[in-house]
Structure 1
Amino acid sequence: MTAADTQAAGPPVPVPDAPEKTGKSPSTQDAAGPRPKKRRTKGELLPYLLILPAILAIAAVYVYPLAKTVIMSFQDLGRAALWGNAEAEWVGFEQFTVILGDADFWWVVVRTIVFMTVCVVLTMGLGLLIALMMLRLSTWVRLTLTVALVAAWSMPLMVAASVFRWLSDSDYGLINTLLADITGNEDKWLGHNWFLDPVQGFGIIMVLVVWGAIPFVVITLYAALTQVPKELEEAAALDGASAFGVYRFVTWPVIKPVFIMVATLSVIWDFNVFGQIWLLRGNKPEPEYETLGLYSFSKAFESTSFSQGSAIALITVLLLSGVAVYYLRQLIKTGEVE
């Protein structure tokens, strides 16, 4: 092209700059301002509205009494203040100082921990063995056993305690009669009072606690055992693993989360045992039979030291808070795995 042709064509037409590549279309880039927040619809709020009554009921049953207990533990609350005839005096940490400095309190704590540990070990051990046994039972035997477990679980505590009081009665109890017949020593066993010795008395109480807790443990662990893949167990057995090896490396990893959660619940329940001891000791347990729940009740209503009873109850809550946090962590981990 010559210079004359260039002049004839006219001046060059400017070319617009190409838009920057930002991953968005020009129409999107032209839209100014942040996106408006998405509003919740009625459908999204419905689940929260449905559980609102349950939350309010829990708050009324648990939150208010707990808050009241905390307030009372920092006061010196007597009968007059309890009935509203006088103003309760604020004493700060005085109640906690008195309780933590009392040697009887620490004996009660040790007794409670030992009692809880034995009950949990027996409950989880026997419950796991029965659940494993149920896998090898025929269908009708397993159904019969399940019905018996549910019936035992649904029995009211007062009825169960009455049965165990009759079984361990010193004069007409079935336990003494059987031991006298088996050993042939009627002088030793007929008329034997199991509750004169706290060790023997707690043995009877532990049997009642374990008997009442085993149905829940067995049914829950059996449900977990049914989720173990049979092909993995068969493959491990074909590879030469023993029965214990199959259980350890195949069965246990599957049921471990459920076992830990049930054991954690058992710790909380057995730590707070009250009714079994109260009923078996005729509504007036001796000091040798007091656990933390009974010790708190005794301080509050027998010694009319309501603030000390509240402080002991609050200490019990703090002792169990670590167990509760561990239980919630296990629930979260199980949900993440699933």
Structure 2
Amino acid sequence: MTHTVSSPRADTLLRRHKKPRRKPLLRLTPWLMLAPATAVLLVMTGYPLIRMAINSFQEYGKAQIFGAPPEWVGLKNYTDTLTDPTFWAVAGRSFALMAVLVIATMGLGILIALLMNKVGTFFRLLISIGLLLAWAMPPVSSVIVWGWIVDTKYGLLNWTLNTITGTDNWSGHSWLIDPLSFFAVLVVIITWMSVPFVAFTVYAGLTQVPEEVLEAAQLDGAGGIKRFFLVVLPYLKSILLVTAVLQMIWDLRVFTQVYTLQGLGGISSQTDVFGTYIFHLGSSNLGGAGAVSFIMVAMMLAISIYYVRKTVKDEEI
């Protein structure tokens, strides 16, 4: 009888030989599944971005729109934009509007989420339905409804104020002709449409806070306010950060509500924000509009960089 003595090297080679190799098709399967979505994104998003980037370095005005060849001007559109007082006025209005909207939306959204967490099932369902109706309404329809409320001649707001004061002082009063009242109406409209997202997101986070931790804090003598800031808020920190960053980006990109409200009586030159300013500028100067668009994108990236860095650090921990 013969005995074969296998060496460790021979065993290793044997195991490597017997190890099933992954088929090339299996390695390509994830990429093949991603290919259709990637192609759609490249066509629908990539091409317009590239085209806009090219236009931002060209003289592309009305003459070029009607067939004249564009002229390469380098960074001229960017320097003209950054030295234009109108651009900085629009930027100031846009960031001021964003700040007010984020504060109002986050504050009201958190309060409604806390209310939903405290009330019973019936009232929670009632609040949810109301929030969903406000969230599901198309922006143009929402602005038109609110436009009827603040209408100069037949608006419900003017009629209510006349009824309360017992005078006709508010008859014919325009809430949209003055920039300050225009933005007040705009803040109400956008906040009304944005609060549901914040409320549902924060409420989902509240349901993940451990009840035993809250009960322990209550037994230690912590009141409702202390429990919120010392117990609940740390659990919601990441959720609130993501929600706030998203709201900042969305509020800087707002277009439909501003443009529709301008059509109902606002003065565009005094109420333009980034979205409407780019739209109006693009009707006569696509090169300048492209430059403003990329400057706006750079500003939004600067806003979100803190969130991106924090997310990367949290993943590394």
Same fold by TM-score, threshold 0.5 exceeded?
Answer: yes
Alignment match, 2:56: 73
CA contact (8 A) 1:237 1:246 kept: yes
Segments ≥4 residues shifted beyond 6 Å: none
> Quick one: which of 312, 319, 328 aligns to 2:299?
319
Q: Distance in 2 between matches of 1:72 and 1:40?
A: 46
Q: Percent identity?
A: 36
User: How much has 1:287 moved relative to structure 2?
Assistant: 0.7
- For residues 46-104 of structure 1, what are the alpha-carbon distances to aligned partners after superposition, in whole Å with 9 as ceiling and x for unaligned? 33332322222222222211111111010001334335x33211000111111111111
Alignment match, 1:12: none
Return the letter of the residue paired with 1:310: G
Q: 1:64 to 1:262 in 2, by over 3 A?
A: same
Q: Distance in 2 between matches of 1:209 and 1:268?
A: 14
User: Radius of gyration: which is bigger?
Assistant: 1
User: How much has 1:248 moved relative to structure 2?
Assistant: 1.2
Q: Distance in 2 between matches of 1:77 and 1:307?
A: 5
User: How much has 1:288 moved relative to structure 2?
Assistant: 0.7
Q: Distance in 2 between matches of 1:309 and 1:267?
A: 21
CA contact (8 A) 2:177 2:267 kept: no
Q: Distance in 1 between matches of 2:155 and 2:316?
A: 51
Residue 206 of structure 1: SS of its match in structure 2? helix
Residues 136-147 of structure 1 mapped to structure 2, 5 A cutoff: 136-147=118-129
- For residues 106-158 of structure 1, what are the alpha-carbon distances to aligned partners after superposition, in whole Å with 9 as ceiling and x for unaligned? 11111110011001110000000000000111101111211221121111111
Return the letter of the residue paired with 1:217: V
Which structure 1 residue ranges, 5 or more long, are not aligned? 1-23
Q: 1:69 to 1:232 in 2, by over 3 A?
A: same
Q: Distance in 2 between matches of 1:45 and 1:29?
A: 29
CA contact (8 A) 1:224 1:258 kept: yes
Q: 1:55 to 1:327 in 2, by over 3 A?
A: farther
Q: Distance in 2 between matches of 1:132 and 1:45?
A: 47
> Quick one: which of 158, 173, 192 aligns to 2:155?
173
User: How much has 1:37 moved relative to structure 2?
Assistant: 12
Return the letter of the residue paired with 1:236: A
Is 1:48 aligned to residue 28 of structure 2?
A: no
Q: Is 74-83 or 166-175 further displaced after alignment? A: 74-83
Alignment match, 1:280: 261
Q: Distance in 2 between matches of 1:223 and 1:116?
A: 25
Q: Distance in 2 between matches of 1:224 and 1:336?
A: 23
Alignment match, 1:200: 181
User: How much has 1:30 moved relative to structure 2?
Assistant: 7.8
Q: Distance in 2 between matches of 1:138 and 1:330?
A: 36
Alignment match, 2:245: 264
> Quick one: which of 61, 74, 78 aligns to 1:96?
78
Alignment match, 2:3: none
Alignment match, 2:236: 255
CA contact (8 A) 1:73 1:95 kept: yes
Q: Distance in 1 between matches of 2:262 and 2:12?
A: 80
Q: Distance in 1 between matches of 2:293 and 2:13?
A: 64
Q: Distance in 2 between matches of 1:37 and 1:106?
A: 63
Q: Distance in 2 between matches of 1:37 and 1:110?
A: 63
User: How much has 1:219 moved relative to structure 2?
Assistant: 0.7
TM-score (structure 1 length as normaliser): 0.84
Q: Distance in 2 between matches of 1:334 and 1:134?
A: 30
> Quick one: which of 273, 277, 281 aligns to 1:291?
273
CA contact (8 A) 1:177 1:190 kept: yes
Q: Figure out how many residues of one structure are paired with residues of the other and give that number.
A: 309
Q: Distance in 1 between matches of 2:13 and 2:244?
A: 61
CA contact (8 A) 1:73 1:311 kept: yes
Return the letter of the residue paired with 2:111: L
Is 1:152 aligned to residue 129 of structure 2?
A: no
Q: Distance in 2 between matches of 1:149 and 1:332?
A: 33
Q: Distance in 1 between matches of 2:30 and 2:119?
A: 42
Q: Is 218-227 or 191-200 further displaced after alignment? A: 191-200
CA contact (8 A) 1:99 1:105 kept: yes
Q: Distance in 2 between matches of 1:38 and 1:94?
A: 57
Alignment match, 1:183: 165
